[in-house]
């Protein structure tokens, strides 16, 4: 297995590292400290990153994008996350959905949505699935049970659809210009057979943003409530087929998917290891440097070891995906593993730092709060259950 990087991958890695170190990291902590969740967002950094190509990284070259492979997306995500993991997530949220438009939309939809996305540095994307009474069951509904999954209703009216209901915790909620929204078009069957994905511009009458949620971690990242009140959507904004909404995304095997979360976690881990090492080598306790205490050495060893194991797992998974090798479950396992690692590593970093570790002004505390968000990203717990039956026998044929 050859993990050496090609010229293009190195280029993007270097660009992302420079942007993260020089432009993202210096603003990261100050934004995190702002109390109002709507005010934490900084358009300047997003527009600047967009000009450097980070917003449109995954769009095919045919549409003016960079068509970066999965290893490149992983490398960029790691670097940007070292700068600030919620700024990097704002960009990668666009990779998933711009890619889906390019892969699955009609020519007319690409003209209407992908073209403006490519032309406007402030054009962000969001995806609405989760509701107050539907979370992970969006991903693992008890088969064919109409009670499970989203309830937002879409009813046909001539060539149009009328949407009523709401979505919760939706990423880029208060800042996106375009949303991909799952709605129930047949409430009598399960969501696999009875839902449709609609493409909805932000300024559509009957659609508005409600709350912007105030989160403990990833404070820059905007998670909003989407409210639909007799919102009229033309039939030409259906993505894929009516009642084929779940399929529209599931069929797209070339989406970055949850590797983005694992790569993002790796960026945080690198940051935490660097901070812990620096503190341990420069501050004293009991008359000697913190790094000279054996207990701290064991903690640093564990932090380093877990981070390196995560790096190998993430890059291997991205590498396999680039070669279209069969996925026996690594895409999910690497996300599950990243949750364990990012939370253990950031907690150890806090312990090594002493009281400074839990002070609000310090980046140590921010990293731990950011890591906590992984507990509730992408239905991690339910995915752990779901993946088990797909796992192959050991030893794995390579
Ligand atoms: C920062 C952030 C960003 C997000 N962005 C988006 C977004 O852009 N779009 C979007 O649609 N959603 C988004 N979400 C929502 C999130 O992806 C979903 O709510 C996810 O399903 C949460 O999973 P959960 O397991 O944490 O909790 P839930 O699915 O809400 O479950 C609650 C509890 O019930 C358990 N449980 C759930 N289902 C089952 C089951 N079938 N069997 C047994 N136990 C079960 C869970 O393990 C958990 O303990 C975001 C959430 C966060 C925190």
Q: What structural domains and CATH numbers belong to the chain?
A: 7-119 (1.10.540.10), 125-243 (2.40.110.10), 259-390 (1.20.140.10)
Whether 209 and 170 have beta carbons less than 8 Å apart is answered as no
pLDDT for residue 353? 97
Give yes or no for residue 140 CB within 6 A of ligand 1: yes
pLDDT for residue 398? 61
Give yes or no for residue 137 CB within 6 A of ligand 1: yes
Contacts of 154 (CB under 8 A, 6+ apart): 161, 162, 163, 183, 184, 185, 196, 198, 233
pLDDT of the chain, 398 residues: tens digit per residue = 778 999 999 999 999 999 999 999 999 999 999 999 999 999 999 999 999 999 999 999 999 999 999 999 999 999 999 999 999 999 999 998 898 888 889 999 999 999 999 999 999 999 999 999 999 888 777 778 999 999 999 999 999 999 999 999 999 999 999 999 999 999 999 998 999 999 999 999 999 999 999 999 999 999 999 999 999 999 999 999 999 988 777 666 666 778 999 999 999 999 999 999 999 999 999 999 999 999 999 999 999 999 999 999 999 999 999 998 888 889 999 999 999 999 999 999 999 999 989 998 889 999 999 999 999 998 788 888 888 888 888 877 66
pLDDT for residue 141? 72
pLDDT for residue 251? 60
| 41 Cα: distance to centroid of ligand 1 (angstroms) | 24
| 170 Cα: distance to centroid of ligand 1 (angstroms) | 11
Number of Cα atoms under 13 Å in the Cβ half of residue 147? 1
pLDDT for residue 248? 73
Give yes or no for residue 133 CB within 6 A of ligand 1: no
pLDDT for residue 382? 85
């Amino acid at each position: 297995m050859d993990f050496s990087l090609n010229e293009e991958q190195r280029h993007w890695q270097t660009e992302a590292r420079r942007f993260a170190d020089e432009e993202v990291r210096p603003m990261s902590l100050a934004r995190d400290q702002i109390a109002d969740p709507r005010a934490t967002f900084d358009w300047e950094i997003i527009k600047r990153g967009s000009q450097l190509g980070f917003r449109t990284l995954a769009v095919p070259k045919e549409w003016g994008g960079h068509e970066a492979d999965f290893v490149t997306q992983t490398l960029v995500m790691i670097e940007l996350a070292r700068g600030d993991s919620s700024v990097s997530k704002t960009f990668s949220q666009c990779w998933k959905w711009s890619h889906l438009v390019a892969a699955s939309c009609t020519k007319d939809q690409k003209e209407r949505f992908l073209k403006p996305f490519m032309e406007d540095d402030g054009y962000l994307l969001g995806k609405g699935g989760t509701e107050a009474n539907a979370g992970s069951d969006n991903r693992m509904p008890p088969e064919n049970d109409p009670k499970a999954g989203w309830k937002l209703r879409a009813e046909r009216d001539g060539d149009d659809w009328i949407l009523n209901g709401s979505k919760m915790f939706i990423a880029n909620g208060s800042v996106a210009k375009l949303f991909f929204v799952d709605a129930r078009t047949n409430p009598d069957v399960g969501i696999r057979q009875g839902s449709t994905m609609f493409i909805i511009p932000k300024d559509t009458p009957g659609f508005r943003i409600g709350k912007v949620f105030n989160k403990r971690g990833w404070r820059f990242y905007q998670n909003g409530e989407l409210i639909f009140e007799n919102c009229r959507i033309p039939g030409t904004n259906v993505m894929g087929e009516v009642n084929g909404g779940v399929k529209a995304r599931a069929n797209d095997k070339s989406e970055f998917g949850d590797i983005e979360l694992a790569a993002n976690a790796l960026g945080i881990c690198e940051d935490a290891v660097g901070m812990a090492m620096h503190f341990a080598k420069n501050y004293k306790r009991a008359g000697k440097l913190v790094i000279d205490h054996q207990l701290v050495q064991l903690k640093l060893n564990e932090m380093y070891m877990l981070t390196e194991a995560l790096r190998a797992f993430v890059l291997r998974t991205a590498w396999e995906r680039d070669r279209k090798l069969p996925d026996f479950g690594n895409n999910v396992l690497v996300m599950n593993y990243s949750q364990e690692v990012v939370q253990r590593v950031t907690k150890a970093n806090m312990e090594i730092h002493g009281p400074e570790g839990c002070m609000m002004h310090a980046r140590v505390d921010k990293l731990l709060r950011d890591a906590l968000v992984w507990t509730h990203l992408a239905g991690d717990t339910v995915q752990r259950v779901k993946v088990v039956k797909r796992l192959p026998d050991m030893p794995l044929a390579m």
